[in-house]
Structure 1
Amino acid sequence: MVFSSVVSFVRSPATALALSLVLGASLYGPVARAFDEGQSGLHLLASWP
């Protein structure tokens, strides 16, 4: 019974949007930081003599 209420709660569009926003925000920081570090690493490799 709890499972069906959780499923219906997650299936509502507003909740799905909020969950995706929270997940995206929590994932964006580390991914952007890793991407920045990767970019600087690429620049270091490109400037290597």
Structure 2
Amino acid sequence: VHLYGTSLGGFLAQLFAQHRPRRVRSLVLSNAFLETRCFAAAMRWSSL
């Protein structure tokens, strides 16, 4: 499947691609956001 997501739809498209990578042929995002807690936890400055 080819996915295009805008704003909240982009967030949901990323989740779909993360959980079903074999089903996604392409992913296009516009003004999308993502959950950053997992990335922030890995950063050295997260304890500041």
- Return the TM-score normalized by structure 2: 0.31
Identify the structure with bigger relative contact order (alpha carbons < 8 Å, sequence gap 6+): 2
Q: Which has the higher strand share?
A: 2
Please tell me whether Structure 1 or Structure 2 has the larger radius of gyration of its CA atoms: 1
